[in-house]
Copies of this chain bind each other. A is one copy, B any other.
Amino acid sequence: MAISMKKIGLMTSGGDAPGMNAAIRAVVRTCAYHGISAVGIEMGYQGLIDNQMNEMGARDVKNIIHRGGTVLRTARCKAFYAAEGRAKAYENFKSNGLDALIVIGGDGTFTGAMLFSEEFNVPVVGLPGTIDNDIFGTDTTIGYDTALNTVVDAIDKIRDTATSHNRLFFVEVMGRDSGFLALNGGIGAGAQDILIPEEHLDLNRLFASLDRGYQAGKSSSIIVVSEGEEGGVFEIVKRVREHYPDYDMRVTVLGHLQRGGAPSCSDRVLASRLGVAAVEGLMAGQSGVMAGLRGGQVVFTPLSDAVKKNHEIDAELIRISDILAV
């Protein structure tokens, strides 16, 4: 079912992820290619409520494919979760002559998109943009691959100095609810052990791993930890220190540097493909769905599934992590 699309609004929302600019570029240029007006909405849903939006042409998105962050800026917007906020947003949506909305973000972004789409019968397509990779319906999210490279690049540097005896390096990475970054980044970095939320925080497992490493003659070890509460890794270090009073322990907290940086080629291509798919999906009548890439093919998943279903950690990777830390 081909739908007449004359004007499409797009926004980025939630936490930044590398590749968001590549997605914006792809949406804008695909609109230009098909003769559709693209309208960039600033600061996520807040900009829709505040009527901060501008038409964007093909030249407006030049030289952004390689930039971290998002030229449309992003925000978390509480007001949009109230009916009043969404009503104001819809008012602006109509007065600007928009036919549809493309939102780039994560869970929270998609929840807002569903509400908006259902309440006002507005065609909406979501693109998964988050470094956490915790979205169902796509093999990877935009930004995840870049963040993994940032993590291993940081740990490679720590590894250079990890030659003294009895030294433990703790590296806290993002992922409060999801261990993708820690698990894959930890395997990629050759970590001795990886502590992820899915596995809870079993320090006895860590102690066993460290004991094995010590017996195997490892002079020092790197432990990757998913962020928990603030100062979380320091609490863990405190407890490990009680168990190994002679070890020298050092901490790195990567923090927000994981959200930035030039996107990897893989993230740029992913963002480009999904940006094209979002526009052409709307033209073909898609709505209330997220565009993702599974097994190399674009697939559309209902936003309700993207939000509710879990993107599960592959248990095989936990096994592999154990084997390779032998």
Contact = CB atoms under 8 A, between A and B. Distances in A.
Interface string A293-326: 0111000000000000000001011001001101
A15 to B, nearest CB: 8
Interface string A268-293: 11001100100000000000000000
B265 A169 contact: no
A269 B184 contact: yes
A18 interface: yes
A259 B326 contact: no
A251 B260 contact: no
A49 interface: no
Contact of A65 (B190, B251, B266): B190
Interface residues of A, number: 85
Given A260-B156, A264-B149, A265-B148, A323 B63 contact: no
B265 A149 contact: yes
A265 B66 contact: no
A152 interface: yes
27 contacts: A16-B160, A16-B163, A26-B324, A33-B323, A33-B326, A58-B326, A59-B218, A65-B189, A70-B163, A73-B164, A139-B295, A151-B265, A152-B264, A157-B257, A157-B261, A158-B257, A158-B259, A159-B260, A160-B260, A184-B265, A187-B269, A188-B269, A188-B272, A251-B253, A252-B253, A266-B266, A296-B314
Assembly stoichiometry (copies): 4
B26 A266 contact: no
Interface of A: 15-16, 18, 25-26, 29-30, 32-33, 58-59, 62-63, 65-70, 73-75, 139, 145, 148-165, 169, 184-185, 187-190, 216-218, 231, 234, 250-262, 264-266, 268-269, 272-273, 276, 294-296, 314, 316-317, 320, 323-324, 326
Contact of A216 (B59, B66, B296): B59
A260 B68 contact: no
Nearest to A294: B295
A231 B157 CA distance: 21
Given A187-B272, A188-B265, A276-B324, A160 B259 contact: yes
